[in-house]
Structure 1
Amino acid sequence: MNHPIPILVFIYNSYKDPLFQNLLLQYIKTLSQNGNYRFDLITFEQPQYALSIEETKLETNELEKYNIYWHPRKFHTGRFLLFKKAFDVISTFFQIIRIKATYKTRYIFAFANVAAAIAVLFSRFMNLKLVIYSYEPHSDFMVELKLWSKQSWNYRILHWLEKMAAQHASDIMTGTIHMVEKLKSEGIKANLYRAPTAVDPDTFYFRPESRDQLHQSLGIDDQHVYIYPGKFGGLYYEREIIALFGQLYAQDPKSYFLVATDYDKNQIHSWFEEENIPTTSYHLRAFIDAAQIPDYLSAADMGIVAIPPTPSQKFRSPTKVAEYLLCGLPYITCQGVSEDDEYATDHEVGIVVNDFSREEISKVYPKIDQILALNKSELREKCRKVGLDYRSRERVDHLLQSIFK
């Protein structure tokens, strides 16, 4: 019997982070089912995604059915950030040396740019082929959203490492044609693939029973339901999300808002109150477990993509759009975000705004009203068809099988 191909999977997210659960983990499991691999998975665990000892044991046993061996590490943040990140890199370096020596690891598979910026160091020193999934200019995002300055060491170091990662990667999968063209113009020699973030169409689909159950349990009658399952602040809009809801409610008091986030709940409740949105017109809860997301999306009529339209956002590929479309949901997004704005307009599956200002929402509301008035079954079918073409995971699965064969 041939020995399995050993691959180190490196992410700078927590194991239970929905981004990992809904994307990379599913791709790895599919690879495992269709080939002979050993995956050593390194994650960095944050408190909000913490698992109990028993939960960790259950997850570990489940992963091993797919030849995935999990090595969780602690995520460090706060003061003296650069020193903490340096500690993460150095301590992980020795762990990877042990893994490589034991299993003759050949590839390091990095998820997104922060992980890639660290993984390139391991790749160079240990002669590992670097494969990057979801290459996006994270350092530029942080500057454009005024979280860092271009003079800061955080920016300088990450930006330099991102460039190095692109230069030394063997394969780069990125979400948009915009980034493929940018990397080509910079003379990057890696194999480049346009691979928008995608989800499993056998998991993400409209579920009428779930819609009925959630509408009944939440007391939703004939209202128009908007959903936002995501983060507030950082790389996303913050107070502006609830301001958008406030304008939608002012235009249509039959609006209802589903929000799932780990943000401060008291703060969000106060924002809803400031927008004069009664508690009977919204539901606020913690992040939704990955398995339940299609249920909640099925309960909605329109999804929200809360990414501010700064210049580098055209290189992003938000997972939410894949989830929305495959569950039959149109969406609201900003001009210049990914290729999602183009698909929304060209295929009439969404609304594009310049920003989340009240003026913008008021201006486009007739288009929102027009979409909400369409036959729901026909609209769902149309959105799903576009989603299957644009954001189904089959193409990503095939690319990964080709890369690691």
Structure 2
Amino acid sequence: MKQPIPILVFIYNSYRDPLFQNLLLRYIKTLSENGCYRFDLITFEQPEYALTAEETQQEKKELEDYNIYWHPRKFHTGRFLLIKKAIDVITTFFLVFSIKLKYKTQYIFAFANVAAAISVIFTRLLNLKLVIYSYEPHSDFMVELGLWQKSSWNYLILNSLEKMAARHASDIMTGTIHMVEKLKAEGIKAKVYRAPTAVDSGTFYFKPEARYELRKSLDVHDKTVYIYPGKLGGLYYEREIINLFAALYAHDDHAFFLIATNYDHDKIVTWMKEENIPQSAYHLRPFIPSSQMPDYLSAADMGIVAIPPTPSQKFRSPTKVAEYLLCGLPYIVCKGISEDDTIAKEHKVGIVLNQYSKNNAVSDMTRISALLLVDKSVMQQRCINIGLTYRSYQNIINVLYNIFV
């Protein structure tokens, strides 16, 4: 029997991070089903997603059934950040080196640019092929959103490593045609694939019973439910989301806002009060577990994409849009985000705004209301059909099979 192809999966996220759980983990589990691969998984565990020692061992045991072998590491932050990151790179190098020696590893499969930026060091020193999934200009995101200065060491180092990763990768999977064209224009020699983030339609689909039960429990039977399940601040809008809610509520006092985030709830409540949105018009809860996300999306009428319209955001491919569409949910997005703005307009599965503000034009609110008046079953099927075409899980699997041969 042919030996499984050994692949090292490298992410700079936590194992329980929904981005990893709903994307990369599902992909490698699917790939593992034919027995042709062995995966060594390296993650960096943050307190936000911490597992107990018992939970970690249980997860390791379950992963081994898929021929996936997990090597969790600690995520460091705080003071002396660059020194801590350098130590992380050096210690992780020896782990990667030992895995390569033992299993004759051929590939590093890196998730997003930060992981790719670190991985390129390993691939150059250890003669490994670098495959990047979700290549996006993370360093530029940080500058445009005011989190870093372009002259800072953080930016200079990450930006340089991002460019190096693109130059030395064998294969790059990126979310939009915009980045495909940019990389080709820069003369990148890697095989570049347009591969928008996708979720499994066997997991994300409309659930009528969940819709009924959740709307009953929230007492929102006849209300228009807008949902935002995700992060606020950093790479995402913050108070601006509440400003948008204020505009929606001013236009329609039957609007109801379902917000699932680990952001400071007290601050959100204060902002809601400042915008005169009563507590009866919203429900605030922590992050929704991945297994329950389709239930909550099924209960909603419109999803929100919380990405601000800075220039580099056209290169992003938000997972939320894949989840919304496959659950039959139209969405609101800013102009210039991924290809999601174009898809929303061309296929009438969403509304595109220039920005999020409590002063959004009445015409914007009217367009949202008009979209919501479309027959519910017609809109659901329209969203699902576009989701399967635009964010097909199987398309990603087919690309990966072509790469890892």
Question: Aligned residue for 1:74?
Answer: 74
Where do 1:46-85 residues align within 5 Å?
A: 46-85=46-85
Question: Aligned residue for 1:377?
Answer: 377
Question: Aligned residue for 1:227?
Answer: 227
Question: Aligned residue for 2:291?
Answer: 291
Where do 1:14-29 residues align within 5 Å?
A: 14-29=14-29
Residue 362 in structure 1 maps to residue 362 in structure 2? yes
> Normalising by structure 2, what TM-score?
0.99
Where do 1:236-251 residues align within 5 Å?
A: 236-251=236-251
Question: Aligned residue for 2:252?
Answer: 252
- Give the SS at the match of 1:359: coil
In structure 2, what is the Cα distance between the partners aligned to 1:255 and 1:274? 17
Question: Aligned residue for 1:153?
Answer: 153
Assess if the C-alpha contact under 8 Å between 1:244 and 1:361 holds in 2.
Answer: no
Where do 1:97-112 residues align within 5 Å?
A: 97-112=97-112
In structure 2, what is the Cα distance between the partners aligned to 1:120 and 1:361? 47
Q: Which amino acid aligns with 2:323?
A: E
> Normalising by structure 1, what TM-score?
0.99
In structure 1, what is the Cα distance between the partners aligned to 2:299 and 2:34? 34
48-57 or 195-204, which moves further after superposition? 48-57
Q: Which amino acid aligns with 1:391?
A: R
Question: For each residue in 1:2-54, what CA deviation from the matched residue of structure 2 results, as whole angstroms up to 9, or x when unmatched?
Answer: 21110000000000000000000000001001341110000000001001122
Question: Aligned residue for 1:186?
Answer: 186
In structure 2, what is the Cα distance between the partners aligned to 1:193 and 1:220? 43
Q: CA deviation at 1:358?
A: 2.1
Task: List structure 1 segments (4+ residues) > 3 angstroms apart after TM superposition.
Answer: none
Where do 1:168-207 residues align within 5 Å?
A: 168-207=168-207
In structure 2, what is the Cα distance between the partners aligned to 1:219 and 1:360? 28
Q: Which amino acid aligns with 1:367?
A: R
Assess if the C-alpha contact under 8 Å between 2:245 and 2:358 holds in 1.
Answer: no
In structure 1, what is the Cα distance between the partners aligned to 2:212 and 2:51? 31
Question: Aligned residue for 2:349?
Answer: 349
In structure 1, what is the Cα distance between the partners aligned to 2:242 and 2:392? 30
Assess if the C-alpha contact under 8 Å between 2:232 and 2:261 holds in 1.
Answer: yes
Question: For each residue in 1:36-78, what CA deviation from the matched residue of structure 2 results, as whole angstroms up to 9, or x when unmatched?
Answer: 1110000000001001122212211111110000000000112
Identical counterparts, % of pairs = 69
129-138 or 274-283, which moves further after superposition? 274-283
Question: For each residue in 1:114-164, what CA deviation from the matched residue of structure 2 results, as whole angstroms up to 9, or x when unmatched?
Answer: 000000000000011000000000000001111111100000000000000
- Give the SS at the match of 1:119: helix
In structure 2, what is the Cα distance between the partners aligned to 1:61 and 1:108? 22
- Give the SS at the match of 2:225: strand
Question: Aligned residue for 1:94?
Answer: 94
Assess if the C-alpha contact under 8 Å between 1:14 and 1:46 holds in 2.
Answer: yes
Cα distance change, pair 361–327 in 1 and its aligned pair in 2 (3 A)? farther
124-133 or 256-265, which moves further after superposition? 256-265
Q: CA deviation at 1:360?
A: 2.5
Question: Aligned residue for 1:122?
Answer: 122
Cα distance change, pair 258–2 in 1 and its aligned pair in 2 (3 A)? same
Q: Which amino acid aligns with 2:38?
A: R
Cα distance change, pair 362–52 in 1 and its aligned pair in 2 (3 A)? farther
- Give the SS at the match of 2:10: strand
In structure 1, what is the Cα distance between the partners aligned to 2:71 and 2:335? 40
In structure 1, what is the Cα distance between the partners aligned to 2:321 and 2:395? 17
In structure 1, what is the Cα distance between the partners aligned to 2:338 and 2:242? 23
Q: Which amino acid aligns with 1:53?
A: A
Q: CA deviation at 1:273?
A: 1.5
In structure 2, what is the Cα distance between the partners aligned to 1:395 and 1:370? 33
Q: Which amino acid aligns with 2:279?
A: T
Q: Which amino acid aligns with 1:6?
A: P
- Give the SS at the match of 2:360: helix
In structure 1, what is the Cα distance between the partners aligned to 2:145 and 2:311? 10
Q: Which amino acid aligns with 1:144?
A: E
Question: Aligned residue for 2:6?
Answer: 6
In structure 2, what is the Cα distance between the partners aligned to 1:308 and 1:158? 22
Q: Which amino acid aligns with 2:102?
A: T
In structure 2, what is the Cα distance between the partners aligned to 1:25 and 1:258? 27
Question: Aligned residue for 1:327?
Answer: 327
Assess if the C-alpha contact under 8 Å between 2:324 and 2:331 holds in 1.
Answer: yes
